Amino acid sequence: MMGARPAKNRAALLDRAVVPLDSETQAFWMDKVADVQAHGAGGVGKFERYFRLFRQVVLPLAHRRATIDEIFVSKTREARRSFLEYDFETWRWNMLLRFFFSRFMMGRMGRDKAFFDHVEGSVSDHVARRIRHAAIDLDPVDNPYLYWILKGGHGAALPMPWREEHYATIRDRLDRLDIRLGALEAFVESGEKADGYNLSDIFEYMSPEIAAQVYETLLGASNPGARLVYWNMMAPRRVPERLLTKVNTLKSLEDDLKAEDKAFFYSDFVIEQVIG
């Protein structure tokens, strides 16, 4: 149903999945049945459509299918570097990369234009650097995100939550979830305190000044020892300087996890722990 692998019954699976949900959520997904059937529920977003256009229209202009398949053949790090530099980074690939992942194209078709309000430098250069990281430093063979971008679906490289060995653990812990719809500010204003935050890359959408204000409100809604975890893609964000004495940066843990992070498009991964 999510689109990880080919299937003809995605619409039927979606029907089953939405039965216990509220009417608003049912209406949201029923409006997308055709797209879910074609691409899976994980492939119907704006950014996913952008990558699908890249995979189906742009990528074939640069490389044959055999070249794409070769990326996912197990190699040593040095062999991966050689393949990328001599077989993949052709003049045609570089030209198409600069065009399709330009600030103009991504702002019109890929990400919300607001994403680029606080980004400096070339977007396509950032993408090129991250692809090199994914293709050389990481092993593409077990990278579900690179596989999906270049080939569609995930093949054998499933994201961790979808792997069979994790099914029972997730099922048995569903009662731990307390799902709330709404802005992060709604939780902060509730007076509750959290032991940890997975913040994705929300600070990139804010100016440094607004990011500092939001960061401070999160500290006020955190228990001692709470961790703030977030990513940077193209706009560098970390604990504001005036709040440095309130958190510890877990540099060693950051480095260990960055070396394993399959979400290669992010340039930085941050873990900061509230002192108290």
Same domain? For 259 and 222 the reply is yes
Bridge partners (DSSP) of residue 248 are 273
How far, in Å, CA of 203 to CA of 210, rounded? 8
Contacts of 181 (CB under 8 A, 6+ apart): none
Whether 73 and 148 share a structural domain:
yes
Full-model pTM:
0.84
Is 30 contained in some domain?
yes
Q: How many CA atoms lie within 13 A of 214 on its CB side?
A: 21
Asked if 229 contacts 196 with a C-beta cutoff of 8 angstroms, the reply is yes
120 and 37 fall within a common domain: no
* pLDDT 10s digits, 33-85: 999 999 999 999 888 988 899 999 999 999 999 999 999 999 999 999 999 99
The span from the CA of 118 to the CA of 115, in Å, is 7
Proportion of the chain above pLDDT 70, given as a percent: 95
Strands 194-198 and 222-232 come out as parallel
Distance CA 116, CA 111 (A): 9
Average pLDDT over residues 153-170: 92
Domain membership flag for residue 203: yes
Q: Report if residue 23 sits inside a domain.
A: yes
Query: pLDDT digit string (tens) for 163-206?
Result: 999 999 999 999 999 888 888 888 888 999 999 999 999 898 88
